[in-house]
Structure formats: C-alpha cells, structure tokens
Chain A
Amino acid sequence: MTMLDYGPDAILMAGLDGRNWRLKDYEARDGYQALKKLFSDKVSPDKIIAEVKKSALRGRGGAGFPTGLKWSFMPRQAPGPKYVVCNSDEGEPGTCKDRDLLRYNPHAVIEGMIIAGYAMGATAGYNYVHGETWELYEQFEAALAEAYAAGYLGKRILGSDFSFELFAHAGYGAYICGEETALLESLEGKKGMPRFKPPFPASYGLYGKPTTINNTETFAAVPWILHHGGEAFLALGRPNNGGTKLFSVTGHVNRPGNYEVRLGTPFAQLLEMAGGVRSGHELKAVIPGGSSMPVLPADIMMATDMDYDSIAKSGSMLGSGAVIVMDDSTCMVRALERLSYFYFEESCGQCTPCREGTGWLYRVVNRIENGAGRIEDLRLLDSVADNIAGRTICALGDAAALPVKSFIKHFRDEFVHHIEHRQCLVKGDVEPKWGRTGAGFTMRNMKEAA
C-alpha cells in the first residue's frame, strides 16, 4: 500500500495509506495514548487547557481564534448538560481538508473531542458533518461504534469518573451552517440561521446550554498536543501560530490536493509541493484562505508566508487554509461571477443587507461578465459591498463583500476592459470548447493533473 503524501512535516496526516483509519490502526500510531495518560496521571482540566494555550493552536475553521482561550470560556462547574460540537460542515469553496481528515484519520477527531469534553466538563458532543459528504457521516458513525466498544466513549471512560457521549449529525446542503450559531440552530432541528452574539455559545449554546464549537482539524490536533506537549506543537510553527496546518491547494496547479505544512512555510514552497502552476503559465492571483477572503496578486503572494499573522499583514486572511490558485489564463470577472453566485445562493435570507445585497452583487457582476456592464457599475459594486459588510448578524455578509472589493481593487483593468470592449482582456491560448471567457475554466486543467 502506498502511503498518502501530505508532505514531510505532516503530523495529523502522517502514516496514512487511505485504508488504515480503523481503531486498531490509530492505536498502532499511538492513538488514544494521550487520553489514557490524562486519566492515568489524573491531569486536571485546567492543566489541559493551559497546555493547549501554550501550543498556540488557533481555530482551523476560518476565524483563527486561540483554541485554549476559547475553551477557558466554558463554565466548567455550571450544573447540567454542556456540549462540545465539531464543525465538519466543510463548505467554504476551496476547502477539502476535513474530508481527508475524517476519511483517513477519524479517530484523531474523536480523541480530540473526548479530551476537549473532559477539559470543559462537557457531557456530550456532536460532530456536524457536511451533507454532501454522506460517506464520511457513515464512516464516522462506524468509527464511533469502535470507540464505544473499546471504552473510549460512554459511561466512566477508561475507569475514570468521566462520562461522555458522542454522536454524528448530518447536514443537508446549507453553507451557512458552517457558522457556529447557525450550526447550533440546525442541530436543534431548525433552519440554520445565525444567532445574535452575545450571548456566546459558551454561555448559551446548544439547547441553551454552555457549548464550545471547534473545527475538525482543531480537534484532530489536540491529541498530538497532549501527547507531545504544547511547546513541541508551538515549535513546529511560529510564535502565536503554533503547529502544522492542512492547506487545500486548488485551481491551476499541477497537483491539486491537501498538504500539511508548518505554519510559517513560504507560499512558494507550498505551491511547489502542489506541483507548481500548470506548465506554460504564470501565477496571476491567489485567494489564500477560502473564497471568503480577499484575493491577492501573484507578487504579494509569492512574498508571503503561510501563517495567520503573515497573511493578515499581506492584506488577506488564512481563513480555512484553502488556497485557490489562478494562472494568467484566468478571467477575473468570470472568477468573481462564480464567487458572487455562491454567496447569492447561500445567503440564509435573515438580514436584509445580505439577502438583497448578495443578489445585487451577483446580477451586476454577471452583466459585466456578459458584456452588458456600465462603467458606473464598478462604483455600484463597491457601494453595495460596503452596505453589506459589517451590517449583518454573521460573517457571510462580509464574506460576500470582501472578494468583490478585492477583485476590483487588484484587477480593475480587467473589469473596465470587460465593460468597455464587451469582451475579456485575457486571451486564452486554447479555444475553450464551450466558449468560456478566458481559458481558466476549461477541462484542460484536469487532463494535465491526471
């Protein structure tokens, strides 16, 4: 069996061959050792949280919030049920790392959730799995059954006085449920519409009980941190940016895929791991952290390191770690049209600026793309985006606005050319089979990767 190659520095995805996801395989990779040691050494919840804080682990789902700090907000002594929830509703365009984690290493997520549950005094946990990845949901249930049978879940885990139940919950096609309070609403059997914050989930979460929600990759990193120490995890990355991170590299690279690298790795190195920009082309632009983050031109990107603080300094965000690569054949108007359509489709409709604004953005970008744009549309787009951002309950509004503003800021010429000449500035070197603008959207890309 050939091993899956996530890069030489992989820790979460090390030693995986695509089939060895079962409990016995995980145990053979030192799995559940961290959990066993916590109970045999009677490590206190406070010490666990201190260790996670020391590791500088930050939320891997998009916001990058320090995990240890988040855990410390939970009122551990409060009576009654408390919950930990795993956000596996991976639907940020460009992101496909949790899929690999769940299908190749699900027990790392389970162990991380048990440790988190113990540290925060939780009574039960749920893993909310993206609806489109049904096979992962079934596989996770199978992994849970193994963990129950082995005594890692259920009553009095490993002879301790800690009891913890863990279940899988399937989503069914709503991007908004990746937002943590929308996810809670969805878990409660309602439409996934985000809640006002405050109150934050740590005080009023699932069923109104204290709840902490973390991303799949965040939980998966916890066993390693407890097993090897927070210092060791921190040392893999940079100060304030501990550990390794899974990056999903998509678009115009020769080997699209997931790569696990140390935080702080230069973008150029990550690009090389993904096989570089497809042959015969130059890098044009990169969205470094999932479709909700601002796009950056090639020169800025090539000078950036892949950690939370470096990407922020460059003018974008690390987000979920989805790196969308576009080469010089990409029509940026077309690219923005695809993004705007997504947010228009996925707005939950709760807040007027987002519900109305995302459709407005899409229709205007769409008419520019189709040769019916007017020069004043550029100012209009900017103004609509400004009237969405910061005026909605959740971050989807900002996520819809930021790409529009950044695309026009960095690639204004292309938009102007589209409007004035009713055609694309980018001339493809191949004739697209279906008449796409540019050549960035042709099937050819796939063939080269295959």
Chain B
Amino acid sequence: MLTTDSLRKIDREIAKYPPEQKRSAVMSALIIAQDEKGWLSTETMDEVARYLGMAPVAVYEVATFYSMYNLERLGRHKLTICTCLPCGLQGALDAADHLRAKLGIDFNQTTPDGRFTLKEGECMGACAMAPVLLVNNKKMHDFMSYEKLDRLIEELK
C-alpha cells in the first residue's frame, strides 16, 4: 500500500487535469510510487490503477514504455550515464568504462553489496555539460571527470 503522503502527492497531480482525465496523472503517480517503493511491483501498479480508475494493463503499458521506471528491484543508487554521440565525443564512453571498471559490473547489473545499479541512458538534454550522470532519476551530475566520478561513488553509501 502507498502511504497517505504519496497518495496526497498523487492527488495534487490529478488536480492538474480535467476531472474526467485522471488517467493523465498516471506517469506522475508511477513516479511517486517508485520514489516510495524503489521499484514498481505488479501490486504497486495495480494500486495505482485502482486509484486512478484505470485498467491495470493500461498502467503496465505506461510503466514498460518509459525507460526510467524500475520494473525490478535495483541497487540503492541507480546510476544512469548517457552514452550518446555528443556526450561520447566529450568523454562519456570513457566515463562509463571507468564506472564499469570501478564498480566491477556491466550495464544493467547491480553490485553484490546492493549499493549500485549501472544503466546506460539516452539523451538527457545536457549534452554540452557531458559526461552527464543521473542518480536515481532525479539528481543530475554534469561535467564528470574521473575524479568527480570517484568522489561521487565514495559519497553515495
């Protein structure tokens, strides 16, 4: 079950749309649910569906279409690094390899201690500030050097 705090946040999202269009809040509702639970289990998605009056399958469709939803349990810190061309030209591919070597995992893997999951991201709209890294979808770190990456890994316990 989602907490009343989460439900209140979802209510605030619902209020942005016409009363008969509650479904428009599904993306936000899933973000809020994911922030609370860490990932979207079928039970969580079903609860969002009930809350918004949607068919469960319509919620699964959204959750599986947009790449930032976690459909499984991940490490405490999801690190998503952009490896597109512009970022790559500015060192993002090296930054990604540095992270892989340092954490000892490949993309879509989680460190054995459960601290980090590494993801390959697509354009984050911050290309000139590459290499760019997202932590748990919400916090962007830009202009990442090897040193800054090391420090970040150190800080994220």
Please give the residue numbers on chain A whose beta carbons come within 8 Å of chain B beta carbons, in ascending order: 81, 90-96, 98-99, 126, 130-135, 167, 169-175, 186-192, 207, 248-252, 256-258, 291, 322, 324-326, 330, 335, 338-339, 342, 345-346, 348, 432-434, 436, 440-447, 449-450
Contact = CB atoms under 8 A, between A and B. Distances in A.
Contact of A93 (B25, B127, B138): B127
A369 to B, nearest CB: 12
27 contacts: A93-B85, A93-B122, A93-B123, A94-B127, A130-B125, A132-B126, A134-B138, A135-B138, A135-B139, A135-B140, A169-B27, A172-B69, A173-B122, A174-B67, A186-B27, A188-B21, A191-B65, A192-B65, A192-B66, A251-B90, A325-B89, A346-B122, A434-B93, A436-B93, A443-B98, A449-B90, A450-B145
B21 A207 contact: yes
A443 B68 CA distance: 26
Interface stretch (B2-10, B110-118, B129-137): B129-137
Contact of A175 (B86, B94, B122, B138): B122
A338 B134 CA distance: 19
B68 A442 contact: no
B84 interface: yes
Contacts of B56: none
Contact of B24 (A98, A171, A188): A188
A335 B90 CA distance: 12
Interface residues of B, number: 56
Interface in B37-52: 52
Contacts, number: 195
B152 interface: no
B25 to A, nearest CB: 7
List the 7 closest A-B pairs by CB distance, nearest first: A173-B68, A189-B23, A173-B67, A443-B91, A132-B124, A443-B94, A90-B125
Most buried by B among A81, A132, A173, A440: A132
Given A133-B140, A187-B24, 5 more contacts: A133-B126, A173-B121, A256-B127, A434-B97, A442-B91
A348 B124 CA distance: 18
Contact of B130 (A186, A256, A338, A342): A256
Contacts of A188: 21, 23-24
A94 B86 contact: yes
B89 A324 contact: yes
B86 A174 contact: no
Most buried by A among B31, B61, B65, B137: B65
B150 to A, nearest CB: 13
B68 A446 contact: no
Given A135-B138, A186-B27, A342 B89 contact: no
A91 B122 contact: yes
Nearest to B100: A434
A189 B25 contact: yes
Contacts of B93: 434, 436, 441
B16 to A, nearest CB: 4
A132 B27 contact: no
B31 A132 contact: no
Contacts of B21: 188-189, 207
Nearest to A258: B128
A441 B88 contact: yes
Contact of B91 (A81, A135, A187, A445): A445
Contact of A445 (B54, B69, B89): B89
B93 to A, nearest CB: 5
Nearest to A126: B16
Contacts of A133: 124-126, 140
A131 B66 contact: yes
A190 B130 CA distance: 31
B26 interface: yes
Contact of A172 (B54, B68, B124, B143): B68
A325 B52 CA distance: 46
Given A130-B125, A189-B23, A446-B131, A326 B89 contact: yes
Given A175-B122, A434-B93, A248 B127 contact: yes
B52 to A, nearest CB: 8
Contacts of B131: 446
A191 B138 contact: no
Contacts of A81: 18
A170 B27 contact: yes
A410 B25 CA distance: 46
Given A188-B23, A192-B65, A251 B140 contact: no
Most buried by B among A126, A134, A330, A450: A134
A96 B125 contact: yes
Given A81-B18, A96-B125, A191-B61, A171 B66 contact: yes
Contacts of A135: 138-140
B27 A171 contact: yes
A444 B145 CA distance: 10
Contacts of B68: 131-132, 172-173
A189 B62 contact: yes
Contacts of A91: 122-125
A442 B98 CA distance: 11
Nearest to A133: B125
A324 B130 CA distance: 13
B88 A338 contact: yes
Nearest to B23: A189
A132 B121 contact: yes
B27 A96 contact: no
